[in-house]
């Protein structure tokens, strides 16, 4: 294999593929990029066994018609990802040459620099299941990014119950739901889309990485029994699914809400964040006290002191009501609504409460309160 | 004490004073700001016992003639620094009121927010030596910042030999020297300034903090036997000195340099940084090989591979010469010269070498090489 390739274009592909390698893997073979040059494109693959990313660089660039690769000899090799990426980033010429010598050395060079990295034949690389089959759903990049932004934060980051580190993606009767919960709070996005029925648990980590890579093009999500595939631009991402039953969340959501507050998202967020400054010892738990005439947020600590905020602009339907909650959960949920005003609907002091946006039924946030301390 | 004060102006002073509190201290009383309001200004003090910072906020602003403090009652208190600074940062009104109630509560409030922090009478605060006496040297802010930038990095960050964590500042016959060394490399700044003779070891940490705070005004450095004081704008910084004899460094510096290389700082830095990518296992040690016709930098590792850079534009006086060095030391030294070209002067393969700038005799960098590995 020998290629003369545009350095920036190569670096972009390496950075994308490296996301799969950056994550821990038990098998040291996975520290390598797999390079395969054929007569149409260079394909670079990285994997940790669970997540695999392939990125193609065509000889002639599809958008600009410039040449990404100005000369080549077909071939393939495995190159250490860490050193290759640092070398390609550190060089400053427009084009670099990568040449495999005797199957055991990859030489990276330009006019001034010459690096020889130990390399390996691709026969050493594991066989990965890269078949693409199953139900295909197509999203606009911005739509999928928004869905992930609005839900993924509510998933658990603890591996104790692996299924809670996934987003549950369910399609039924052309309605699709993305749901995440860490069992203390829940975020659900609902929208209509034509597709066959399915239900899978996709690792949140995969979705967050996909979201970061998406630019403007459409993205295909292909769901099968054992894996999910995302396909966009010149990139294909393969991820295992998470086994196990996602919790039945309907029991967590109250039926009726006799206390309903509408308030500015920004003003309410700023007020609870300030009050929580004195609630650090209490895991950021503050108390909300509402009457038809007053909206007050407070916290109290014998050690430090007390904090009190009043908000004068709000709408409230209901009787006098008190509830205590973790400020971080409420801040996250308000941010995810992406709305100027938010509606907080309460069922009772010890029942889960709901946060929604006035003009958007697609996003629902549920948070469990905590017992008041004072 | 009761003051109504401009929030941004207060926050600026708190951030400056907090630098002294942020550093570790054995005595918990030092977590507090000391507030003293008199008929001219509010004085805020923070300390950890070794480093003390006082900042004054005058009632009427000296620059803009706006009022920093619109109303006040004289008095004094100790307030927990951590919570006060977060509260003042978190509020969003232009002015805030701070009122001491019954000597044990500091109430911070604006229209919407009300915080009550437990506070203490100032009698609890230690007596600090804040006398200002000794030899005064005046710098322009930019001059002192440059001196610190060019030397401080070469000090040790290990407390094993405390005197190496200081900058040695020596004045003799109206010539002043700032010297830092971690015993592997050394940086020295020399310039003329009229003052009496003295020699002190100033903690590098103090100087780095002073450098960050300096804006445009002049800064006075007042040196006495036990402490150094920096005075600028409305701020006074008191720092203990470090005891002990600073190493005699003249023995470290060779007399004659038979091998002299002049090269572009940017090109040479980029080349050695790239070669060091493959020298991670070897503590970033690379080899420089010079002849009158060629300049080559290389590194080699059985595990990873080899790297080789050639630079074609350079000037060299001397015979064929090889030397190995730690890339990080050389990169730091080149950066400190602040010069387009640098001169590397070598005395021998195992002798310390010198890095200087072609048109600036005020800054000298000395680095000890390492034995070649191959």
The rounded distance, in Å, linking the Cα atoms of A274 and B96 is: 14
CA distance A14 to chain B (A): 17
Q: How big is chain A by its Cα radius of gyration, in Å?
A: 26
Q: Looking at the domain assignment, is residue B129 inside a domain? A: no
Collapsed DSSP state (helix, strand, coil) of residue A4: strand
A120 and A140 part of one domain: no
Q: Looking at the domain assignment, is residue B373 inside a domain? A: no
Phi and psi, residue B19, nearest 5°: -55, -40
Of A80, A96, A124, the position where a domain reaches its end is A124
Instruction: Please report the pLDDT score of residue A373 as a whole number.
Output: 59
The rounded distance, in Å, linking the Cα atoms of A79 and A218 is: 31
Mean pLDDT throughout A167-189?
96
Indicate yes or no: CB of B114 within 8 angstroms of CB of A308.
yes
B267 and B341 part of one domain: yes
A298 and A325 part of one domain: yes
B7 and B120 part of one domain: yes
Using the Cβ of B115 and the Cβ atoms of chain A, whether some distance falls under 8 Å is answered with yes
A223 and A304 part of one domain: no
Q: Looking at the domain assignment, is residue A343 inside a domain? A: yes
Name the CA dihedral angle for A7, A8, A11, A15, rounded to a multiple of 10 degrees: 180
Apex B292 CA angle, B287 and B293, nearest 5: 85
Of B209, B240, B271, the position where a domain reaches its end is B240
**DSSP secondary structure code for residue B249 in this structure:** -
Instruction: Please report the pLDDT score of residue B112 as a whole number.
Output: 94
| Nearest neighbour of A305 by CB, restricted to B86, B117, B303 | B117
pLDDT at B280 over 80: no
Question: Which residues of chain A are within 8 Å of residue B311 when distances are taken between CB atoms?
Answer: 112
Top residue of A90, A100, A272, A280 to mutate, by most chain B CBs within 10 Å, is A90
B181 and B201 part of one domain: yes
Indicate yes or no: CB of A92 within 8 angstroms of CB of B270.
yes
B64 and B85 part of one domain: yes
Q: Which two tokens stand for residue B180?
A: 């830092």
The rounded distance, in Å, linking the Cα atoms of B171 and B341 is: 30
**DSSP secondary structure code for residue A154 in this structure:** G
Does the CA dihedral A226-A230-A235-A240 come out positive or negative?
Answer: negative
Number of independent structural domains in chain B? 3
Q: Looking at the domain assignment, is residue A200 inside a domain? A: yes
The rounded distance, in Å, linking the Cα atoms of B344 and B333 is: 11
Using the Cβ of B286 and the Cβ atoms of chain A, whether some distance falls under 8 Å is answered with no
Does the CA dihedral B83-B84-B85-B89 come out positive or negative?
Answer: positive
B96 and B175 part of one domain: no
Q: Looking at the domain assignment, is residue B248 inside a domain? A: no
Instruction: Please report the pLDDT score of residue B373 as a whole number.
Output: 59
B7 and B93 part of one domain: yes
For residue A318, the domain's CATH number is 3.70.10.10
Q: Which two tokens stand for residue A369?
A: 């309160």
Answer yes or no: are the C-beta atoms of B48 and B21 closer than 8 Å: yes
Mean pLDDT over all residues of chain A? 95
Mean pLDDT throughout A284-303?
94
Q: Looking at the domain assignment, is residue B73 inside a domain? A: yes
B158 and B85 part of one domain: no
Q: Which two tokens stand for residue A253?
A: 């959501």
Q: Which of A34-38, A196-200, B251-255 has the lowest mean pLDDT?
A: B251-255
Residue of B nearest to A110 (CA): B309
Instruction: Please report the pLDDT score of residue B114 as a whole number.
Output: 97
DSSP letter for each residue of A174-216: TEEEEEEE-SSEEEEEEEE-----EEEEEEHHHHHHHHHH--S
Mean pLDDT over all residues of chain B? 95
Does the CA dihedral B56-B59-B64-B66 come out positive or negative?
Answer: positive
Phi and psi, residue B169, nearest 5°: -115, 120
The rounded distance, in Å, linking the Cα atoms of B324 and A166 is: 51
Indicate yes or no: CB of B117 within 8 angstroms of CB of A304.
yes
| Nearest neighbour of A310 by CB, restricted to B112, B273, B308 | B112
pLDDT at B371 over 60: yes
Answer yes or no: are the C-beta atoms of B84 and B35 closer than 8 Å: no
C-alpha closest to that of B80 among B43, B127, B34, B41 = B34
Residue A256 backbone class (left: φ over 0; alpha: ψ -120 to 50; beta: rest): beta
Top residue of B31, B115, B119 to mutate, by most chain A CBs within 10 Å, is B115
This prediction has a pTM of 0.91
Bridge partner list, B221: B137, B230
Answer yes or no: are the C-beta atoms of A299 and A278 closer than 8 Å: yes
Indicate yes or no: CB of B114 within 8 angstroms of CB of A80.
no
CA distance A87 to chain B (A): 7
C-alpha closest to that of B263 among B344, B369, B368, B366 = B344
Mean pLDDT throughout A244-266?
92
Query: String of b and e for B189-208 (b: at least 16 CB within 10 Å)?
Result: beeeeebeebebbbbbbbbe
Q: Which two tokens stand for residue B33?
A: 């700001």
For B137-181, write each residue's pLDDT tens digit: 999 999 999 999 999 999 999 989 999 999 999 999 999 999 999
Answer yes or no: are the C-beta atoms of A6 and A95 closer than 8 Å: yes
| Run of H or E including B323 | strand B321-326
For B57-85, write each residue's pLDDT tens digit: 999 988 888 999 999 999 999 999 999 99
Answer yes or no: are the C-beta atoms of B258 and B72 closer than 8 Å: no
Q: Looking at the domain assignment, is residue B182 inside a domain? A: yes
For residue B228, the domain's CATH number is 3.10.150.10
Instruction: Please report the pLDDT score of residue A297 as a whole number.
Output: 97
C-alpha closest to that of B125 among B34, B44, B204 = B34
What percent of chain A is predicted at pLDDT more than 70?
99
ipTM metric: 0.88
A228 and A261 part of one domain: no
Q: How big is chain B by its Cα radius of gyration, in Å?
A: 26
What percent of chain B is predicted at pLDDT more than 70?
99
Using the Cβ of B338 and the Cβ atoms of chain A, whether some distance falls under 8 Å is answered with no
| Nearest neighbour of A91 by CB, restricted to B115, B274, B305 | B274
Using the Cβ of B28 and the Cβ atoms of chain A, whether some distance falls under 8 Å is answered with no
Of B124, B154, B181, the position where a domain reaches its end is B124
Using the Cβ of A307 and the Cβ atoms of chain B, whether some distance falls under 8 Å is answered with yes
Instruction: Please report the pLDDT score of residue B65 as a whole number.
Output: 83
Question: Which residues of chain A are within 8 Å of residue B117 when distances are taken between CB atoms?
Answer: 278, 304-305
Using the Cβ of B92 and the Cβ atoms of chain A, whether some distance falls under 8 Å is answered with yes
Indicate yes or no: CB of B277 within 8 angstroms of CB of A303.
no
| Residue B70: Cβ within 10 Å count | 13
Burial group, residue A78, by CB count within 10 angstroms (0-12, 13-18, 19+): buried
Domain residue limits at A146: 135-240
pLDDT at B51 over 90: yes
| Nearest neighbour of A118 by CB, restricted to B91, B305, B309 | B305
Place B355 in a pLDDT band, splitting at 50, 70 and 90: very high
Which residues 308-337 in chain B show a CB within 8 A of chain A?
308-312
Instruction: Please report the pLDDT score of residue B11 as a whole number.
Output: 98
| Run of H or E including B147 | helix B141-151
A277 and A325 part of one domain: yes
Collapsed DSSP state (helix, strand, coil) of residue A114: strand
Contacting residues for A47 by C-beta, under 8 A, at least 6 apart: A20, A21, A25, A30, A53, A126, A128
* Strand pairing report for A360-367 and B51-58: unpaired
Does the CA dihedral A289-A291-A296-A300 come out positive or negative?
Answer: negative
Mean pLDDT throughout A305-323?
96
Bridge partner list, A60: A67
CA distance A40 to chain B (A): 30
Q: Which long-range contacts (CB under 8 A, 24 or more apart) does B361-364 make?
A: B361/B190, B362/B189, B362/B190, B362/B191, B363/B150, B363/B187, B363/B188, B363/B189, B363/B190, B363/B336, B363/B337, B363/B338, B364/B187, B364/B188, B364/B190
Indicate yes or no: CB of B305 within 8 angstroms of CB of A114.
no
Maximum Cα–Cα distance across chain A: 81
* Strand pairing report for A51-58 and A69-73: unpaired
pLDDT at B372 over 80: no
Instruction: Please report the pLDDT score of residue A268 as a whole number.
Output: 98
Q: Looking at the domain assignment, is residue B205 inside a domain? A: yes
Indicate yes or no: CB of B304 within 8 angstroms of CB of A80.
yes
């Amino acid at each position: 294999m020998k290629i003369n390739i545009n350095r920036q274009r190569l670096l972009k592909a390496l950075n994308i593929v490296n996301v799969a390698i950056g994550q821990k893997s038990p098998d040291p073979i996975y520290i390598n990029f797999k390079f395969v040059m054929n007569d149409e494109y260079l394909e670079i693959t990285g994997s940790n066994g669970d997540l695999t990313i392939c990125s193609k660089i065509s000889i002639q660039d599809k958008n600009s018609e410039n040449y990404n690769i100005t000369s080549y000899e077909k071939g393939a090799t495995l190159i250490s990802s860490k050193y290759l990426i640092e070398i390609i980033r550190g060089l400053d010429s427009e084009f670099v040459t990568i040449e495999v010598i005797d199957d055991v050395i990859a030489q990276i060079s330009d006019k001034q620099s010459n690096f020889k990295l130990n390399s390996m034949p691709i026969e050493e690389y594991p066989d990965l299941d890269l078949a693409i089959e199953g139900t295909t759903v197509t999203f606009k990049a911005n739509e999928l990014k928004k869905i992930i932004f609005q839900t993924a934060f509510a998933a658990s980051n603890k591996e104790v119950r692996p299924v809670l580190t996934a987003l549950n993606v369910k399609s039924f009767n052309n309605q699709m739901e993305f749901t995440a919960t860490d069992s203390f709070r829940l975020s659900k996005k609902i929208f209509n889309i034509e597709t066959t029925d399915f239900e899978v648990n996709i690792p949140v980590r995969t979705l967050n990485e996909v979201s970061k890579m998406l630019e403007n093009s459409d993205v295909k999500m292909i769901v099968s029994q054992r894996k999910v595939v995302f396909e966009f631009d010149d990139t294909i991402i393969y991820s295992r699914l998470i086994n196990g039953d996602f919790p039945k969340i309907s029991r967590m959501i109250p039926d009726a809400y006799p206390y309903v507050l509408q308030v500015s998202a920004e003003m309410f967020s700023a007020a609870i964040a300030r009050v929580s400054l004195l609630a650090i010892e209490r895991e950021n738990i503050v108390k909300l006290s509402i009457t038809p005439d007053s909206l007050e947020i407070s916290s109290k600590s014998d050690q430090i002191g007390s904090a009190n905020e009043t908000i004068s602009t709000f709408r409230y339907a209901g009787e006098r009501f008190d509830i205590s909650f973790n400020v971080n959960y409420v801040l996250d949920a308000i941010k995810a609504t992406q709305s100027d005003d938010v509606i907080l609907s309460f069922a009772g002091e010890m029942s889960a409460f709901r946060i929604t946006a006035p003009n958007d039924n697609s996003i629902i946030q549920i948070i469990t309160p905590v017992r008041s301390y004072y």
